[in-house]
Amino acid sequence: MTDHQQMVPENDMSNHRQQIIKLKRWQWWVLVVANIAFLLIGQSGAVILGKLYYDEGGKSLWMGALVQTAAFPVLYLPFFFFPNSPDHNTPPNNPPNQPSLTTKSSIYFSLGLLLGIDNILYTLGLIFLPLSTYSILCATQLIFNSIFSFFINKEKLTPLIFTSVFLLTLSAMLVAIHGDYSTKYKDAETDHQKSLYIIGFFCTIAASAAYALLLSLMQFSFDKVLKKESLGVVLEMQIYTSLVATIVCMVGLFASGDFLGLKKEMEGFNKKSTGYVLTLVGTALAWQICSVGILGLIFLVSSLFSNFISMLCLPFVPLFALIAYGEEMNAIKIVAMVLGILGFASYLYQNHLDDRREQKIGHR
């Protein structure tokens, strides 16, 4: 569920912190609290509104995927809230060795295409799974993060990372074995229930894997191709990949003929046309507000802190599903959620240890 686009390592944070050192302490805290609110409200709101779209009569797969990136111009907001990008502070006698426009365009197009596919897979999971199950399965992204980081980014697999992978795998297995399709499809035939549940399950797992791959490839691009990772470069990466993903989903919307049914879909929406438009616009804005919060916390504090705040959404979405949608929260699902939280904690603690080690090395 992830929380889209959030990886900036600590070795670039010193440049960012030099930009915010002039802020008064209370100003810094105001910005941190504001961005925590952006992240939590945006991430939770996007998933909940996305689910509401389908529950109230929405049917278009492509529309559900489109709204995840369609409001990408909102990503320009950090330039208004934070000091000037570190890119502008590069000494004139040491210009960066930038790749060609063709190379950068190829990177943005490829990653944007992958992001578009990821949006579609996540949407399929959101359609076919109960919200609580969907939220728990999204935690498996950390499993794939560990795998792809090991092979692509050459990061080590420590005992804590193995523990995280084990706990999250066990959590996903419990959800798979439990198969709470009866909560989602109360009036459907049993075989049909199982088929839709299985599709949603594997699409959500595949979406988590695709997004983890996207993060690792972004990191590889920053380290090996762009060779620069300031706030401005990260924003540029996110904006152009979101643009490509949006175009992919728009092409799918028109090529599939879904756009022909949007007027009828709007008229049949349970909350009427105004609610239909507000739901879609709200979902699109929520995803980008989440991205703004992520970028803000990376810039003001660290990527570790940003990931930690993102983790806080894990227990809240299933609880909201229980309250608002009346979804069943039985013992198996609660155990799976707890295992997921423990898996997150193990993963984040390893990142905390890595962060402290890098700080010690930097002070020598």
| pLDDT tens-digit series, residues 307-333 | 667 666 666 676 777 776 666 777 877
d(CA 265, CA 22): 52
What digits encode the pLDDT tens for the residues 134-154?
A: 887 887 887 888 888 888 888
Structure tokens at 307: 């990931």
d(CA 115, CA 131): 22
176 contact partners, CB below 8 Å, separation of at least 6: 201
Q: Which of 168, 122, 111 is nearest to 142 (CA)?
A: 168
What digits encode the pLDDT tens for the residues 43-84?
A: 888 988 998 899 888 989 999 999 999 999 887 765 555 554
333 contact partners, CB below 8 Å, separation of at least 6: 132, 133, 136, 174, 175, 178, 180, 318
Q: For residues 321 and 327, is the Cβ–Cβ distance under 8 A?
A: yes
Q: For residues 317 and 139, is the Cβ–Cβ distance under 8 A?
A: no
More confident residue, 8 or 168: 168
Average pLDDT over residues 201-219: 90
The predicted pLDDT at position 282 comes to 94
Most confident among 89-93, 161-165, 199-203 (mean pLDDT)? 199-203
